[in-house]
Amino acid sequence: MNAYLVLTVIILYFAVLLVIAYFTSRETDTNAFFIANKQSPWYLVAFGMIGASLSGVTFISIPGAVLNTQFSYFQVVLGYLLGYLAIATILLPLYYRLNLISIYTYLESRFGFWSYKTGAFFFLLSRTVGAAFRLFLAAMVLQVGLFTPLGIPFWVTTVISILLIWIYTYQGGIQTIVWTDTFQTTFLLLALVSSVYLIKDSLDWSWGELVREVSTSGYAKIWFWEWQGPNNFFKQFLSGAFIAIVMTGLDQDMMQKNLTCRNLRDAQKNMLWFSLVLVVVNFIFLSLGALLYLYSHEMAVALPAREGVVLTDRVYPYLAFNHFSVFAGVAFLLGIIAATYASADSALTSLTTSFCVDILNINREEEARRRRMVRRAHLGFSGLLVVVILLFNELNRAYPESNVIGNLFTAAGYTY
């Protein structure tokens, strides 16, 4: 893939983001930064949340995992529906009744000062590690696919990645992100659909043949009823429900967009429509996974492996960069960027929001001081993400055969 072509496409992509940021961040105050003055159209929030919930990790991992787990992940996705229903009917009415900016403020009135501060602290910890991990993986893809051929070191890639997010979010915050995430989700879905179409075209299949080949491939098994198995339906379904409640309903990052809707009814419509569309999108991701392995079999492509074991997280990037067309490779790269930045930009804004509201008690200050505090916190968390990403890179280089970073990410997950 021509590095200069990719660089041109990426520059144009971020140029559009900056234009969107310019028009959505004029004459904004801290209320716009935190909750968009509660003026966001619910359908934009719902659409943008798809990109925010599907990080670059998901973009790569879900299709790759089909080799070993078939479509069992879809049982988890169905569980999401139950979790999102609980959020829409229980948590959102609570948050809107209390008129919250940070959802952790509720902990103070319900459980007291220390529970409140502890909840906010663990969110700041887990979201910093999680956002840095996702950005690290995306930066690695950019490094291999673009910056290494241009002779640009990884630390420059990292600084540029965070700097771009800082530029288009520092002024408008969540008010800008509602619009930029809509743009980025569009590219994510275009990358997904175009990948499916291009594989179908490469194999010279009709859409009917594609459906038949996927459904009879052995990869498309959804239902698992063996009670002792790790993919048992009831275990997966209930896990999906609790994952949705904890990692969306109790997470400032995901809920901050919902709190920008005009009223509770709009927020509930947003949550319900988002959950339905997310089911469809995840099913297409799983179908793409089956197609990747069918393509490699039909074309006799040797997939990346270590000691005879296929490295499933590398299958999609490997095929996109080395065996698909240039257009497919560019589409994949834009999909990774869109998925990663749609989750990372809101993470940076939510970190800033929680720190200012929950730790600095910004609501007690006058507007001019509030703005200064937000700017400094936003810049500080941007710098912190750079440091953590570079730390991940050093750990990855020092212990290439171990899963140190994965273990750190898992440990951060316990904070939920």
Task: For tokens 């951060």, name the residue.
Answer: 412
Check residue 135 and give its pLDDT.
85
Q: Are 308 and 330 in contact (CB under 8 A)?
A: no
SS3 40: strand
Check residue 263 and give its pLDDT.
94
Phi, psi torsion values for 103, nearest 5 degrees? -70, -20
Distance in angstroms (rounded) separating the CA atoms of residues 383 and 366: 26
DSSP string for residues in 100-147: -SSTTHHHHHHH-HHHHHHHHHHHHHHHHHHHHHHHHHHHHHHIIIII
Q: Are 107 and 116 in contact (CB under 8 A)?
A: yes
pLDDT in tens, the chain (416 residues): 677 777 888 889 889 999 999 898 887 888 889 999 899 999 999 999 988 888 766 778 889 889 888 999 999 999 999 999 999 999 999 999 999 999 999 998 888 999 999 999 999 998 898 888 888 877 877 787 778 878 889 899 899 889 988 998 988 899 999 999 999 899 889 889 999 999 999 899 999 999 999 999 889 999 999 888 888 999 999 999 998 998 899 999 889 999 999 999 999 999 999 999 999 999 999 999 999 999 999 888 888 888 788 888 888 888 888 888 888 888 888 888 888 888 888 889 999 999 999 999 998 888 889 999 999 999 999 999 999 999 888 877 776 555 444 555 565 566 66
DSSP one-letter code for 309: E
End-to-end CA distance of the chain: 41
Check residue 412 and give its pLDDT.
53
Check residue 405 and give its pLDDT.
45
Check residue 401 and give its pLDDT.
54
Check residue 404 and give its pLDDT.
47
Q: Which fold has domain 3-413?
A: Sodium/glucose cotransporter (1.20.1730)
* Two tokens, residue 363: 């609501």
The 10s digit of each residue's pLDDT in 138-155 is 787 778 777 887 888 989
Q: What are the extents of the domains in the chain?
A: 3-413
